[in-house]
Amino acid sequence: MDKKFILEKILEYPKIIIHMHMRPDGDCYGAGFGLKYILEESFPNKAIYIIGETADYLKFVGEVDTITDDVYQGALSIVVDTATKDRVADQRYDKGDYVIKIDHHLPVDDYGDDRYVDISRPATAQIILEFYLENTNILKMNMKAAKALYTGIVTDTGRFKYRSVTAETFRAVAKLLDFGLDFTEVLAVLDIKTENQMKLQGYVLQNFEKTANGVAYIKMTPEIIQKYQVSMEEATSLVNELSCLEDCPVWILFAEYENNIVRARLRSKGPAINLLANRHGGGGHPMACGANVGTWADVDNLLNDADELVKNYRQTLKSL
């Protein structure tokens, strides 16, 4: 799949506005800020902005910009890591003269004037890194970009543990180390937890539940989050605390977001769960996705479907 059109449009426009998705994760930040820093280093005469929501644990990567509507006039908008247009954090993205979507999720909305979607890549940050590597005659790297891109790749691959990781992933990351990146600095920052978050971690390990066929889950109710005095992103980042259970190939963290909407973070080391998430108002990758459950009363519906999925998965394994 050719990325040349992305560079052609970047060269054409004097202003480039990068957009991220709501509740940004490490890959969203890594891809967005990595692209911003590469473009700033490469084209000092261009105005480069990044727009969206902030994530406290990712502030070491960079701070988002604030711009007025008039900045979009004569600008190129690039939306990263966002499968559906309703998830773009700032809906002004379409005020740009031209809109490009760069993503690695299964395509849902074909929004924008042009798109580059590669679902074979485990992170959008890897796509951005490869975009740079394919155009080193024009594009320039700096250490801020290297740290951002590594952050995006290492978080969206679960520290290179997910099946989506390929040889190309390691080859691309090796180029960051060749550049001089000290990846241990990034990991040291990502490893930091507050005292309250560590106490909540203990709560998760002591209070998770399991379904009959092996779906582990924890409910992060508003009362629990208030008791431990943590942010929503600190609470939901603990989803993988349940990943080590031998008899639970699927695990889920439920939490109540704004407008009293309960959302689920689903993870798997066995059956694909993206279709399950689709049935409950969500989506994502086969082994990591999210769903809009609705209310706490609706949680059991998702758990029942997840339990049935694991049951069928186990039966399939036995028949092999």
Q: Residue 36: count other Cβ atoms within 10 Å of its Cβ.
A: 25
Average pLDDT, stretch 279-284?
87
Model confidence over 245-271: pLDDT tens digits? 999 999 999 999 888 899 999 999 999
Domains and CATH numbers, the chain: 4-190 (3.90.1640.10), 195-319 (3.10.310.30)
Alpha carbon distance 14, 16 (integer Å): 7
Residue 143: phi and psi, rounded to 5, are: -70, -30
Least confidently predicted of 6-10, 68-72, 213-217, 287-291: 287-291
Answering whether pTM is above 0.85, one says: yes
Query: CB of 122 within 8 A of CB of 157?
Result: yes
Among 75, 76, 80, residue whose Cα is nearest residue 64: 80
Q: What would the DSSP string read from start to end of 266-284?
A: EEESSS--HHHHHHTT-EE
Alpha carbon distance 260, 185 (integer Å): 37
**Residue found under tokens 């993205």:** 93
The upper half-sphere exposure of residue 124, i.e. CA atoms within 13 Å in the direction of its Cβ, equals 30
What is the token pair recorded at 297? 């009363």
Q: Is a pLDDT exceeding 80 seen at residue 320?
A: no
**Residue found under tokens 């247009």:** 85
Alpha carbon distance 288, 61 (integer Å): 23
Q: Is a pLDDT exceeding 80 seen at residue 231?
A: yes
Q: Is a pLDDT exceeding 70 seen at residue 153?
A: yes
Residue 39 has a pLDDT of: 98
Residue partners of 273: CB distance under 8 A and separation at least 6? 250, 266, 267, 286, 287, 289, 306, 309
Q: Which helix (H) or strand (E) holds 77?
A: strand 75-80
